Structure 1
Amino acid sequence: MAYTVTLPREGGTLYTYHLQQARPFTTPTERFQKRVAFAAAHVVCDPFADTDPLHESKIDWEGTLAYRHHLWSHGFAVAEAMDTAQRGMGLRWDRAKELIQRSAAEAKTVGGRIACGAGTDQLTPHHGVRLEEVEAAYEEQCEFVEAQGGQIIIMASRALAACAKSPEDYRRVYGNILTQVSRPVILHWLGDMFDPALTGYWGHRDLDAAMDVCLDIIREHREKIDGIKISLLDKHREIHMRRLLPPGVRMYTGDDFHYPELIRGDEEGYSDALLGIFDAIAPAAAAALLALDAGDVDRYHAILDKTVPLARHIFQKPTYAYKTGIVFLAYLNGHQPHFRMIGGAEGARSIIHLAELFVLADKAGLLRDPELAVQRMNLALSLAGVSSS
């Protein structure tokens, strides 16, 4: 059956879009082997909580955990309580603790791999914060993650960025934390396009100088580091850093613009993945990674390259608003019954943006039930004042 929807363009003109009749991706029966792939997962807001959504949003635990099962069922490891889950942008540490605890317990029921963000968001970032406080905050969160059985992802710290006076302060804090963890961690270098409060991380605004500091820390503590995720949206820097990593330390791409070529790799290596976009494109990404396992590079690119326009759209500036598109696609696909977000973040993108997201998701074969997707798109359009009559 053919489906159509009337969509708006900027300025208010309307056009009719005819959905393609693509066959949806199915849940795989195999698990990909050649790459480690984490999907950073979003949280589902409780729409019936009678609280101020800007300051006291609550989580729908059933919907949130069901989405993690969706990701595990497609073979992905889950990266929990990261920026995709609106960590630091609606999700406070007290709520993140419960999220980590519940998700880690749920992972054990299906043998799912999980790694969880540990940061310093108990602290309010300001220049008066002391390094000892930053270290104590990291210690608290790392201990909590390990106690739940999760792998630690050491998130970049706004508080450290605010109070560090030199690269030596980063070496000190990371060195002290890494000597205490009991199993190898994943470091996370999040660029300022995702979080402006992290400008100048590692003690330098110059990214090449910052990378040198980060690499020094990795080399000194290599036995405690599984890998590093960098989210700079700069494939050349990622490839350069990947080639400089010590043997056995993985590069986890966080590049939501260039992931197909970075995961495929080149004659000198490849990137594994820890990506927010995998939350949205899990069925396609799983099929592509299985094709890569089979040595079918053409099929790998035929599937995954079609998702790149969608990813670039979702992660367009302001990049930190990408979570809105991730959640909207989950809503279109019936993974949650509403388009509400903690912190009221559903309002972070325009209806024009969401209409184009709908089109790009369809072209990538990522609308698993076109009839439902059209119904829900029409509801969003009507709420925004778009009328096809």
Structure 2
Amino acid sequence: MSHLDLPTADGGLKRYELSGGRSWARPASPLTSRAVYAAAHVIPEVGADNTPGAPAVLDWERTLAYRRELWSYGLGVADAMDTAQRGMGLDWSATQELIKRSGAEAAAVVSSGAAATAGKSVRDLLACGAGTDQLDLAALPAGKAGLDAVIEAYREQVSLVSGAGAKVILMASRALAAVAEGPDDYLYVYGTLLAEMDQPVVLHWLGTMFDPALEGYWGTTDVGRATEVFLSLITDNAAAVDGVKVSLLDASHEVSLRAALPAGVRLYTGDDFNYPELIHGDGEHSSDALLGIFAAIYPAASAALQEYDAGNPDAGRAILDSTRDLGLHIFSAPTLYYKTGVAFLSWINGRQPGFQMVGGLHAGRSVLHLAKTFELADAAGLVENPEKAAHRFGQLLATYGVGV
């Protein structure tokens, strides 16, 4: 059994014995009970700058291998989203390349006929964020000219995602939040775009805990009023909306919104705190999922969905519940640094050579936070090789001065 001396809040150390890991089976056929996308992170080249403001230089082999790993467990991949550090280190140039490469990789998986993804389309395997982050906010004009500039930026990115064969996710836009003066401006921009779509898209409502620049999205800071605006947009354009991803970390709001959606419009939960009960459902409705936490817990998430598929919902819920404490910790405030926890688990499990992130975001969490992440991942059976993971983390702890 592997062990490690972990730091404590009082400046001391405690001996931690790892549990020994758990084996998670890959599905022998596609998952069917829920539509699920894991929002994947990106892995930088170890020799790249990787400091705040530096261009993102990705390790393409390992970044794409991570996506293949997710697909092998039957999960779809949500790419070029906030988990991939959109707006927090992943620049537009790297984003374009990521979308193109992920689309080609998804097409190759479809062609392979692998058991976990048999019969799936590229859109089933890959959904990518289309936003407006190529715009210079300081140069954005006011009024309708600004709104039209936002529309054109969205069009450029929608074309890129569609051209890669992926499902389009219309991401929340900092530029739109900056230029819009009220709900009508949001309805104008989104209504224009939805009328042009040749395939249904996912609408993304991202809360300020993930991005403070989105304060007042949908034209108001009142969540109830914002929900009315959001629902009116969906109702008026239901044929163009595959589903909505809501990341407000408010389970009661999601349950209410889910029940109010038009028939055929999915609710992809983005609630990384309350996903077990939201995916499980209330007996009448259940949520699908588009979650950053699923990139960290994907073997367990797949196992849970396999239980749902097999008609064992209580067993599926129990597996999801066993990961809840890890999700709560990784997404604890300041929530926007949750990506650090996803990359940390990728590193200790050998999916990337170093604990690095573009933009220097590997420094986004304290050593105490990482130690707790390590413990909770082990308790959930998500440390694949305890001895190797303990060795890796032990080396990092030493660089922090822990136990030295």
Instruction: Bin the TM-score by the shorter chain.
Output: over 0.9
Which residue is 2:53 aligned to? 54
Contact between 1:118 and 1:154, CA under 8 Å: does it hold in 2? yes
Which residue is 2:184 aligned to? 168
Question: C-alpha distance in 2, partners of 1:198/1:23?
Answer: 40
Residue 69 of structure 1 pairs with residue 62 of structure 2: no
TM-score, structure 1 length as denominator?
0.97
1:298 Cα deviation (Å)? 2.5
Which residue is 1:117 aligned to? 129
Contact between 2:21 and 2:384, CA under 8 Å: does it hold in 1? no
Which residue is 2:113 aligned to? none
1:383 Cα deviation (Å)? 1.1
Question: C-alpha distance in 2, partners of 1:97/1:176?
Answer: 23
Residue 297 of structure 1 pairs with residue 313 of structure 2: yes
Percent identity between matched residues is 52
Of residues 257, 269, 284, the one that matches 1:253 is 269
Which residue is 1:373 aligned to? 389
Contact between 1:22 and 1:365, CA under 8 Å: does it hold in 2? yes
Question: C-alpha distance in 2, partners of 1:54/1:4?
Answer: 38
Q: RMSD over aligned Cα, in angstroms?
A: 1.2
Residue 362 of structure 1 pairs with residue 378 of structure 2: yes
1:299 Cα deviation (Å)? 1.4
Deviations 1:338-372 (A, max 9, x none): 10000000000000000000000000000011111
TM-score, structure 2 length as denominator?
0.94
Deviations 1:53-78 (A, max 9, x none): 53223100001000000000000111
Deviations 1:311-361 (A, max 9, x none): 000000000000000000000111111100000000000000000000000
Within a 5 Å distance, the mapping from 1:5-84 to structure 2 comes to 5-49=4-48, 54-84=53-83
Residue 234 of structure 1 pairs with residue 233 of structure 2: no
Q: Matched residue of 2:137: which SS? A: coil
Structure 1 unaligned runs (5+)? none
Which residue is 2:86 aligned to? 87
Contact between 1:54 and 1:342, CA under 8 Å: does it hold in 2? no
Paired residues, number: 387
1:226 Cα deviation (Å)? 0.2
Question: C-alpha distance in 1, partners of 2:299/2:311?
Answer: 19
Report the residue type matching 2:54 in the other structure.
Answer: H
Of residues 129, 132, 139, the one that matches 2:155 is 139
Which residue is 2:101 aligned to? 102
Question: C-alpha distance in 2, partners of 1:197/1:50?
Answer: 26
Which residue is 2:399 aligned to? 383
Which residue is 2:234 aligned to? 218
1:125 Cα deviation (Å)? 2.9
Which residue is 1:264 aligned to? 280
Question: C-alpha distance in 1, partners of 2:297/2:51?
Answer: 31
Question: C-alpha distance in 2, partners of 1:132/1:6?
Answer: 56
1:104 Cα deviation (Å)? 0.3
Question: C-alpha distance in 2, partners of 1:42/1:205?
Answer: 30
